[in-house]
Structure 1
Amino acid sequence: MSARAAIVGIGLGPGDPDLMSVRARAALEGADRLAHFCKAGRRGNARTIADAVVGADPAREIAMVYPVTTEIPIEDPAYAEALAAFYEDCVARLLDEVAAGRSVGVLCEGDPFFYGSWMHLWRRLRERLSVETIPAITAMSGAWTAAGAPITWGDDVLTVLPGTLPAAELARRLEDTDAAVIMKLGRNWPKVRGALAEAGLTGRAVYVERATMDGERMIPVAEVPDDHVAPYFSLVIVPGEGRRP
């Protein structure tokens, strides 16, 4: 742990523990408590990644259980209200640990500042005490490397899109870029697939699931079955075709 911060957001990378940074490993081993986000009744994804380094230790762990995940549409005000209250409660729990003289590592899959839940804690904590964030290899970087698909060539412009966008907006932004990564597939997968087709990019797009982890697979989007259900660890990459000397 950093000598300057009692609470640290620890980026664990895309899934393979061998891709974790030296600094992240040291923080995992040095923290008095390890906090992780999870669904009710399940271990968090980040906690599972950390197993290779620290193993299970219930006395050391703080499970932060999401009150909702997909039960309420994200555009419903109740969704934001439930998560805001949840993050406030998490902050209070972490501050109690610090008040008791303990350091806390908050485990984050991928990079903590890239669509990570850690950002919501960091925003609430940064004015109250010293916090640190340890960056990491992103899921998308792990995905395009695992797929053997360099994402940008020459002057290619890369656009990162959440699959939660409206279908027309997804298609428009795909048409306006050279290369793309589409995150947050899940129930949005049929919409994403349709947007890729509308933008004329189905032939270049690659669906990547569980990149760098057990069960990793890469499939051309055109070959993904129509009834496929995209899990949490999945995304689509559209490699650029720019300047190549």
Structure 2
Amino acid sequence: MITNEQTKGRFIGVGVGPGDPELITLKALRLIQGASVVSYLANGEGNSQAKNIACEAFAGVTHQQNEIAIVMPMSTDREEANKAYDGGAQAIADELENGRDVVFLCEGDPLFFGSFAYLLERLEGQFSCQVVPGVSSINAASSALNHPLTVLKESFAVVSGRHSALQIDTALEQHDSVVIMKAGRARPRILTALRKTNRLQDAKYLEYIGRDNERIVQDVATLEDKAGPYFSLFVVTKSERGTR
């Protein structure tokens, strides 16, 4: 006997990596190309970073796909963002109720600073949810720098530019390796923290990793002391490392 639960579609979060289309996993490729419904975040003009990254996957689609673009306002107002997620979750739920799987494209990894998490918390109690991990911007940054994030007994921490100055200072003081995500508007504060904690010489700065406009600044002392793009981060590691 087929139950109503079994006829519902699956909600699948798929990580498409930080920017290089060739970093999409084979599993993600298969699910994107086989999906009847694909969802993603988009800006007011309808452009989607995640969809752009997955462009080569879409080139191999041979059937009609429905798309759910969740338009996300460019604002720090969480109330507006939550409204967008509420509307997107409802549109996805409608497809799932009708037995269609929905593949949600997420930059990087779906559960690491990923927008998928906000939809997951709205839908996981009602539908079967799955996650396909993707290459995170942290791992891509390490590769772009040809530099290990951490070795031996080094400690490693990840913080966000949205954390307080005290939290960022503490991480830089207490850990050998630190990645500061979502640098963007917080870049001046982060540069101040690096100077204050004497970690400026340990830091590297990256924007748009794996994309055509990728930028890497090896000497952050030369970095402009002003806000940068949303897709940017700092990688801070020990200048000198032991060999044993």
1:155·1:243 contact (CA, 8 Å) conserved in 2?
no
Q: Which residue of 2 aligns with 1:196?
A: 194
Following TM superposition, by how much is the alpha carbon of 1:55 offset from its aligned partner in structure 2, in angstroms? 4.1
Please state whether the residue corresponding to 1:156 is helix, strand or coil. coil
Q: Which of 69, 74, 78 in structure 1 is aligned with 2:74?
A: 69
Q: Which residue of 2 aligns with 1:163?
A: 161
Q: Which residue of 1 aligns with 2:122?
A: 124
State the TM-score, normalized to the length of structure 1: 0.88
Aligned: 1:152 with 2:150: yes
Q: Which residue of 1 aligns with 2:87?
A: 89
Following TM superposition, by how much is the alpha carbon of 1:56 offset from its aligned partner in structure 2, in angstroms? 11
Equivalent runs, 1:1-245 vs 2, <5 Å: 6-55=10-59, 60-66=66-72, 68-70=73-75, 72=76, 79-219=77-217, 220-227=219-226, 229-240=227-238, 241-245=240-244
Distance 1:64 1:56 in 2: 23
Moved more, 47-56 or 24-33: 47-56
State the TM-score, normalized to the length of structure 2: 0.89
Please state whether the residue corresponding to 1:203 is helix, strand or coil. helix
Distance 2:128 2:47 in 1: 28
**Alignment CA distance shift 1:5-1:102 (3 Å):** closer
Following TM superposition, by how much is the alpha carbon of 1:242 offset from its aligned partner in structure 2, in angstroms? 4.5
Following TM superposition, by how much is the alpha carbon of 1:4 offset from its aligned partner in structure 2, in angstroms? 9.6
Following TM superposition, by how much is the alpha carbon of 1:225 offset from its aligned partner in structure 2, in angstroms? 2.5
1:183·1:235 contact (CA, 8 Å) conserved in 2?
yes
User: Which amino acid in structure 1 is aligned with residue 68 of structure 2?
Assistant: I
Following TM superposition, by how much is the alpha carbon of 1:173 offset from its aligned partner in structure 2, in angstroms? 1.8
Distance 2:96 2:127 in 1: 10
Distance 1:80 1:210 in 2: 24
User: Which amino acid in structure 2 is aligned with residue 210 of structure 1?
Assistant: Y
Distance 1:90 1:207 in 2: 33
Aligned length: 234
Following TM superposition, by how much is the alpha carbon of 1:111 offset from its aligned partner in structure 2, in angstroms? 0.4
Cα displacement string for residues 134-187 of structure 1 (whole angstroms, at most 9, x for unaligned residues): 011101110111011211021111110100112232112211111000011111
Cα displacement string for residues 167-222 of structure 1 (whole angstroms, at most 9, x for unaligned residues): 23211221111100001111111011111111111111000111122122211211
Distance 2:198 2:84 in 1: 41
1:34·1:61 contact (CA, 8 Å) conserved in 2?
yes
2:20·2:53 contact (CA, 8 Å) conserved in 1?
yes
Structure 1 unaligned segments of length 5 or more: list them. 73-78
Following TM superposition, by how much is the alpha carbon of 1:69 offset from its aligned partner in structure 2, in angstroms? 2.9
CA RMSD of aligned residues (A): 2.1
Distance 2:52 2:197 in 1: 37
Following TM superposition, by how much is the alpha carbon of 1:244 offset from its aligned partner in structure 2, in angstroms? 2.3
**Alignment CA distance shift 1:32-1:239 (3 Å):** same
